[in-house]
Structure formats: structure tokens, C-alpha cells
């Protein structure tokens, strides 16, 4: 399904129970002024909803529901299960998780439970069911919000036992397990299931068997997901037609969000960039969140209106930035703009986190004014709800590969997955070529260009999927340290890049990591990408031999000077590129531009640097989102196309100039 809401929702986390009642009425007045039409209730209130094991009290929440509904505001109903009440941790200490050192973590934080605790699971799903039963007839509930930012990892004995069961199901025999984890290495063979332990903090956190750690990640992901599913099942019994979500966190390593998205009706996520995060990195995370459900639009569940409290430096979003970044989320597929939080906490660790309503309590603040201005604009976007972002390029992102790559001891501690994803994403971004960030197992046929940065682990079916795509005319790009291991982290014995070797027409003989202060260069050879001269490269240099691939660039230095570092291989009707090193941004922008030019997917509009745009499309039309990230005016040339700006009703064609941080939402009219 593409469309879940019939309003453009604007609002966010609301915690009125932290304040006296008089304030609730004032909140309603302020919400109306700000154009708030949805609030998320009651994210962290388990202890008030269930004061003791056998006692539930929803009366205070009933009152808030009534008030919110009387004011025409809809509700995103949270199950409140991310922080268990103190009585539970006291009576059932096993609810609290155990850390990697075997120490039971004390009660007092949040998302601080053992996901395999039967007690936690029982009480959490029961509360979700009770809430659903109690509120099932409230028409104001538009979406369910289970838990909050899931993510506990636990190493307790219960988890160890469950891990063994999980392994037995997967491997059947202890021999298979020994083989899968290569336990012959260092003589770690096991003979009985009770000798199998979760990875723990031995030798300062060193991992001996990467396959074990990988399985623990998969197992923990499944365990946490089960908690979500148990609540979901209870909710569905009473409210089968209300969409269900949980708020994700972008590039959050502990959970494989592709697996989660299958169980979510609509993806929602919390975007908390640093003030100096490159815009392309923020865009990448939106593209990933949209990619989880193959392009379905998502909810921006949380962002701060002004500042955070938990970063090292919680700088303010400058005037205009909150609006600009909200539109950036929409440009990348968001159908809601929501905040943490509606009113600044009076006390506690989030009291300095930004909110719609400041401690001073009135509307005469910069942040409130900016929020109210945005709140007045967003209803104009109603027709874009459910529209799809159009992308002809894709980047493959794989959580298992991420773990495997970073569990690897060698070749370089500086080799990290997300920065390599960003290296490619930012090159598309700078050329304003929209990308979907998707799973390697997804259908690739709708894309002209597919990139798999550091595809170290090639899981079953992935090589076939990519080859099928290239055979049919696709252009594929991959990089150094790809095609190295299978899903148990066993290294290919077929020469790197293993299963991708024939596709790429190269053999990587050696892998040379560089010291941070060292660099090499790419010397371009004859090519049809429009690249010439030399470019810098760093980090890793694969030493490769062509086995049929055309050499487009060679190394400038080192003992492998003159050997290939950029190649292309014809395969079926398509092409497969190998980038054997980590090139400079200058190379990346030119290389991706050359590739997109060849595939004819460069935008038809020309634009100044710092102008970002994407296109969304649905049955009502095509919408071009144009964002000016510059601190000065900048322009886009719309050629002969004619548009009307949904925000101002002004018509545009030819050159359009945007003020600093300006935004256009242009509907095509010719
Ligand atoms: C997360 C949580 C919120 C709040 C914010 C603060 O996203 O979901 O409850 O703690 O962080 O930035
Ligand atoms: Zn546990």
C-alpha cells in the first residue's frame, strides 16, 4: 500500500503527564497556533499505565485522549514498552540485560531489557493488547508506534540458552556448527551444545570466530524483532486496520532493518544529524529508510525543532534549517513531519532537548514561530501523500555485510562500511541523481546503475541477482575488498573477488591498506567516461589483474605502479566496473557523472552547487522538490518545463532563483 494518511501529519512526541493539568489546556492552544494535527502518546509511561503487576490505570490517558480529540488532533498511539517499570526489574531481575562482561545492568535507563526475558515479553505484549482493546473505538488513532527505538543486546544465560536453540534449528548437528564457524581454528572444536557460548568480552573484545559473532547478531536481531511481533499480534486482534510501525534510527548497526521492514506497515524513523553532517549523509539515511520497503513513503517520526541534548555539541538549527531539513525529508519520501518533542521537559536528561514549546511556555520564540510557519504550509502538500520518489540508480546496503566487514581483523581498522556507502551516495547526490538504497536481494531490473560499495560478503543468491541484472543490460559498480567471503565468513578459494570474478573480469591478487598519512593516485587511461589526468586515492589498494576487463585507470605509485585500479568488463548486455581503491571526492563526482551520462540518467535541469532536488510522482502528478542548502541565493534552470509551486501558487519556468535555505515544491503543469 502506498497511502496511509489523508492528512499531511505534523506534530510529535507529547508527554503531558510530566506537567500539571493547567498546562495541557495551554498546550492545546499552542498546538492549534502551530498547525499541529497529530501527537504521539504516551511513549514512556509504562509505570503510570501499570502501577503494579496486576493493576492497570488508563484513566489519565483517557483524559488526555478526550482533550486531544476535542481539539481535532489525531493520535499516534505508542505502546509505552521501551522502559519497564521499576517494580518489574525489582521483582524479576532477569528482565534487566547482561552486558558483554557478564554484568547485569541495573534498572534505570531505557531500552534496558533482555529481549528474551519471558517476563518482559509477557508484560509488554499484555500492555499492548490492553491498550488496543481499551482504545480500539477511538477514531483518532491513525498509527500504532510499538516500543521506541528498539535495540537492546543481551548476553545473559537466558539469551545463551535461546542462542543454542536458535543454532540447533539452523545447523541441526554440532558437526555442522563446528564446520560453519570453522572451530578447528585455534582448536575451539565443541562436542556438546552446552559448550557453545555467545561472544563475550574476552581479550579486550577481540573476536576469534567472526562467524559466531555474525550468528549472534542475527540471533539478537530475531530476538528483538520477536518482542515487536508479540506486541503487534496483540494489537492486530483489536485494531486490524490501523497501520503499525516502530521508530527506526537510520544507519543503526545492531538491527537488520530490512528484516524489520517486512513486519512494519509503514517505516518511520528518527533523524538526528549533527549540525555539521554533510547534507548528502542525511539524504542517504532517508534514501535507506525509503529503500527498506522498496520505495514506499515513510514517516519522519522524530527530529528536533532546534537542538539535541545528547550530542557532544548540541548546536542550534539556524533560522530556516528546520524547515529546509523537513522538506529534505519530504523530498526523499517522508509523508509526515514530526518532532521530539512538543514541550521541553521540566527535569531529567532531556530538559535541554529542543521542543515546539520552550520552558518559557509561550509562543513568542524563534523556534515556535518557525514551527508555526511550517505548520501552516504543510497542508498544501496533501496531494503528494503516498507519492513515490523516482530513482534510476541504486546503492546496495546490507546489514550482514556491514557486521562481517567490521568484524574482520584486517586489512585496516579505518575501513568502515557506512563511509564507503556515503562515498558513492554523495557522488550521486552532488550530481542530483536520485538513488534508492536497497537490499542486494531486491529486484534490480528497474535501475540503470547499481553500486555495491565494499560487498565483502556475498550472500547466497546475491551474485546471481547482480549477474542477471548486468546480463540484461545493467551497469554495475563494485569496489575493493568485495566478493571475499560467504555468509559464514569463509573466504572464497576461487581467487578474489570470488563469485563476482567472471562478472568483473579481474582477479585481485593482494590487498594493500595504506597508513592514514599515505596516498596513491589513479592515472586515467583511455576511457569513454570523460575522465582524464590523475586523481588521489587512499585507504585500500587492491592489486588486480585484468582477466578480460578493459583497464580505465592505473596506479600512480608504489610497487604496483602502472597496474590497473579502475576496470570495466562487458558482461551480457551490460557492464561491470571495479574500483580497486577509495578515490577522492573529485574522482567520485566525475566518475559517477560519466556513468550517469552514459546511461542517460543525469537530470535535465542545470543547477548551482548546493541546490538539491528530487522528484516524487503519483496519480495526481509529478512534483519537483528544490532545496537551496547555500547560505546565499542559488538557482536552478527548469528549461522549458512549466511548474506551479504548491507552497506559493507562483508559476515557474526557465531559471528559478531561491533565497538562502529556500524551498520550492513544484508541480509540473506541461
Ligand atoms: C530518540 C527518542 C526520543 C528522544 C530523542 C532525543 O529519538 O526516541 O524519545 O529521547 O531521541 O533526541
Ligand atoms: Zn538476555
Q: Which atom of ligand 1 is nearest to the CA of 249?
A: 7
- The model's confidence at residue 504, banded by pLDDT at 50, 70 and 90, is very high
Q: Are residues 452 and 514 in the same domain?
A: yes
Domain boundary among 555, 581, 598: 598
Does a structural domain hold residue 616? Answer: yes
Whether 239 lines ligand 1, by a CB cut-off of 6 Å, is no
Check if the beta carbon of residue 142 is closer than 8 Å to that of residue 38.
Answer: yes
Q: Are residues 552 and 581 in the same domain?
A: yes
pLDDT digits (tens, 9 = 90+) for 246-297: 999 999 999 999 999 999 999 999 999 988 899 999 999 999 999 999 999 9
Does a structural domain hold residue 168? Answer: no
Domain boundary among 358, 385, 412: 385
Residue 372 CA to residue 33 CA, distance in Å, equals 6
Whether 269 lines ligand 1, by a CB cut-off of 6 Å, is no
Residues involved in catalysis: 149, 302
Question: What residues are paired with 245 via a beta bridge?
Answer: 145
Under 8 Å CB-to-CB from 194, ≥6 apart: which residues?
164
Q: Are residues 450 and 433 in the same domain?
A: yes
Q: Are residues 381 and 397 in the same domain?
A: no
Residue 351 has, within 13 A of its CA and on its CB side, a CA count of 8
Does a structural domain hold residue 524? Answer: yes
Q: Are residues 381 and 240 in the same domain?
A: yes
Domain of 552: which CATH number?
3.40.50.880
pLDDT digits (tens, 9 = 90+) for 479-497: 999 999 999 999 999 999 9
CA of residue 340 to ligand 1 center, whole Å: 6
Q: What pLDDT score does 522 carry?
A: 99
Residue 508 CA to residue 483 CA, distance in Å, equals 10
CA of residue 576 to ligand 2 center, whole Å: 45
Q: Are residues 506 and 631 in the same domain?
A: no
Q: Are residues 380 and 484 in the same domain?
A: no
Does a structural domain hold residue 182? Answer: no
Q: What pLDDT score does 518 carry?
A: 98
Whether 363 lines ligand 1, by a CB cut-off of 6 Å, is no
pLDDT digits (tens, 9 = 90+) for 516-546: 999 999 999 999 999 999 999 999 999 999 9
Q: Are residues 378 and 406 in the same domain?
A: no
Domain boundary among 385, 416, 432: 385
pLDDT digits (tens, 9 = 90+) for 327-337: 999 999 999 99
Verify cis geometry, omega within 30 degrees of 0, for the bond prior to 341.
yes
Whether 490 lines ligand 1, by a CB cut-off of 6 Å, is no
Residue with CA closest to ligand 1 atom 7: 270
Domain of 615: which CATH number?
2.60.40.1180
Q: Are residues 475 and 532 in the same domain?
A: yes
- Averaged pLDDT for residues 87-101: 97
pLDDT digits (tens, 9 = 90+) for 36-77: 999 999 999 999 999 999 999 999 999 999 999 999 999 999
pLDDT above 90 as % of the chain: 98
Does a structural domain hold residue 209? Answer: no
Q: Are residues 60 and 151 in the same domain?
A: yes
Q: Are residues 403 and 549 in the same domain?
A: yes
Whether 306 lines ligand 1, by a CB cut-off of 6 Å, is no
Instruction: Provide the number of structural domains found in the chain.
Output: 3
Q: Which residues have CB atoms below 5 A from the ion given as ligand 2?
A: 114, 116, 154, 156, 158-159
Q: Are residues 339 and 474 in the same domain?
A: no
Q: Which three cell numbers stand for residue 494?
A: 576461487
Residue with CA closest to ligand 1 atom 5: 340
pLDDT digits (tens, 9 = 90+) for 308-331: 999 999 999 999 999 999 999 999
pLDDT above 70 as % of the chain: 100
Q: What is the 3-state secondary structure (H, E, C) of 122-155?
A: HHHHHHHHHHHHHHCCCCCEEEEECCCCCCCCCC
Q: What pLDDT score does 399 carry?
A: 98
CA of residue 252 to ligand 1 center, whole Å: 14
Whether 287 lines ligand 1, by a CB cut-off of 6 Å, is no
Segments forming the whole domain that contains residue 407: 393-598
pLDDT digits (tens, 9 = 90+) for 343-361: 999 999 999 999 999 999 9
Helix ranges (H only) for 488-631 are 501-504, 585-598
Amino acid at each position: 500500500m502506498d497511502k496511509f494518511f489523508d492528512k499531511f501529519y505534523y506534530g510529535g512526541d507529547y508527554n503531558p503527564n510530566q506537567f500539571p493539568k493547567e498546562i495541557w489546556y495551554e498546550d492545546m492552544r499552542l498546538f492549534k497556533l502551530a498547525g499541529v494535527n497529530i501527537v504521539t502518546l504516551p511513549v514512556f509511561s509504562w509505570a503510570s499505565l501499570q502501577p503494579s503487576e496486576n493493576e492497570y490505570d488508563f484513566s489519565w490517558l483517557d483524559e488526555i485522549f478526550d482533550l486531544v480529540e476535542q481539539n481535532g488532533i489525531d493520535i499516534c498511539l505508542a505502546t509505552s514498552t521501551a522502559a519497564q517499570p521499576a517494580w518489574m526489574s525489582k521483582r524479576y531481575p532477569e528482565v534487566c540485560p547482561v552486558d558483554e562482561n557478564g554484568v547485569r545492568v541495573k534498572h534505570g535507563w531505557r531500552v534496558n531489557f533482555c529481549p528474551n526475558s519471558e517476563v518482559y515479553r509477557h508484560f509488554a505484549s499484555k500492555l499492548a493488547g490492553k491498550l488496543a482493546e481499551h482504545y480500539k473505538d477511538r477514531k483518532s488513532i491513525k498509527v500504532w508506534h510499538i516500543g521506541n527505538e528498539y535495540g537492546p543486546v543481551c548476553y545473559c544465560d537466558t539469551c545463551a540458552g535461546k542462542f543454542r536453540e536458535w543454532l540447533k534449528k539452523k545447523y541441526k548437528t554440532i558437526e555442522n556448527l563446528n564446520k560453519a564457524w570453522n572451530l578447528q581454528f585455534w582448536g575451539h572444536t565443541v562436542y556438546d551444545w552446552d559448550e557453545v557460548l555467545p561472544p563475550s568480552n574476552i581479550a579486550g573484545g577481540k573476536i576469534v570466530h567472526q562467524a559466531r559473532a555474525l550468528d549472534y547478531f542475527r540471533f539478537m536481531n530475531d530476538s528483538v524483532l520477536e518482542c515487536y511481533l508479540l506486541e503487534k499480534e496483540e494489537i492486530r486482534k483489536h485494531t486490524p486496520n490501523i497501520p503499525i510501525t516502530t521508530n527506526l534510527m537510520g544507519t543503526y548497526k545492531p538491527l537488520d532493518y530490512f528484516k524489520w521492514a517486512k513486519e512494519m506497515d509503514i517505516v518511520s524513523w528518527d533523524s538526528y544529524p549533527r549540525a555539521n553532517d554533510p547534507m548528502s549523509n542525511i539524504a542517504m539515511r532517508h534514501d535507506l529508510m525509503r529503500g527498506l520497503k522498496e520505495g514506499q513513503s515513510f514517516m519522519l517520526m522524530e527530529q528536533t525543532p532546534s537542538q539535541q541534548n545528547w550530542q557532544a555539541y548540541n548546536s542550534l538549527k539556524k533560522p530556516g534549517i528546520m524547515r529546509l531539513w523537513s522538506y529534505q525529508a519530504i523530498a526523499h519520501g517522508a509523508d509526515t513531519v514530526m518532532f521530539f518533542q512538543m514541550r521541553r521537559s521540566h527535569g531529567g536528561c532531556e530538559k535541554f532537548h529542543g521542543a515546539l514549546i520552550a520552558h518559557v511556555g509561550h509562543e513568542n520564540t524563534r523556534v515556535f514561530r518557525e514551527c508555526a510557519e511550517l505548520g501552516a504550509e504543510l497542508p498544501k502538500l496533501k496531494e503528494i501523500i503516498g507519492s513515490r520518489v523516482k530513482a534510476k540508480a541504486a546503492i546496495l546496503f546490507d546489514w550482514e555485510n556491514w557486521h562481517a566487514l567490521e568484524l574482520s581483523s584486517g586489512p585496516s581498522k579505518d575501513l568502515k562500511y557506512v563511509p564507503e556507502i556515503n562515498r558513492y551516495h554523495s557522488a550521486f547526490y552532488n550530481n542530483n541523481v536520485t538513488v534508492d538504497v536497497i537490499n542486494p536481494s531486491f529486484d534490480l531490473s528497474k535501475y540503470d546503475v547499481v553500486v555495491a560499495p565494499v560487498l565483502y560478503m556475498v550472500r547466497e543468491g546475491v551474485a546471481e541477482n547482480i549477474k542477471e541484472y548486468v546480463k540484461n543490460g545493467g551497469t554495475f559498480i563494485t569496489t575493493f575488498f568485495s566478493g571475499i567471503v560467504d555468509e559464514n565468513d569463509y573466504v572464497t578459494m576461487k581467487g578474489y573477488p570470488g563469485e563476482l570474478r567472471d562478472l568483473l573480469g579481474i582477479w585481485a591478487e593482494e590487498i594493500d591498506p595504506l597508513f592514514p598519512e599515505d596516498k596513491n593516485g589513479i592515472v586515467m587511461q583511455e576511457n569513454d567516461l570523460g575522465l582524464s589526468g590523475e586523481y588521489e586515492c587512499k585507504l585500500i589498494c587492491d592489486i588486480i589483474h585484468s582477466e578480460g576487463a578493459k583497464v580505465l585507470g592505473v596506479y600512480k605509485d608504489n610497487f604496483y605502479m602502472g597496474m590497473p585500479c579502475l576496470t570495466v568488463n562487458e558482461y551480457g548486455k551490460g557492464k561491470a566496473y571495479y574500483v580497486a581503491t577509495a578515490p577522492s571526492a573529485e574522482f567520485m563526482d566525475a566518475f559517477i557523472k560519466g556513468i550517469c551520462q552514459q546511461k542517460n540518467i543525469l537530470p535535465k535541469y542545470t543547477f548551482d552547487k548546493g541546490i538539491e532536488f528530487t522528484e516524487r510522482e503519483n496519480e495526481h502528478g509529478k512534483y519537483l522538490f528544490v532545496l537551496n542548502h547555500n547560505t546565499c541565493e542559488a538557482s536552478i534552470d527548469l528549461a522549458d518545463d512549466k511548474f506551479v509551486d504548491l507552497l506559493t501558487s507562483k508559476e515557474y519556468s526557465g531559471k528559478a532563483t531561491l533565497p538562502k535555505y529556500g524551498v520550492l515544491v513544484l508541480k509540473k503543469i506541461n
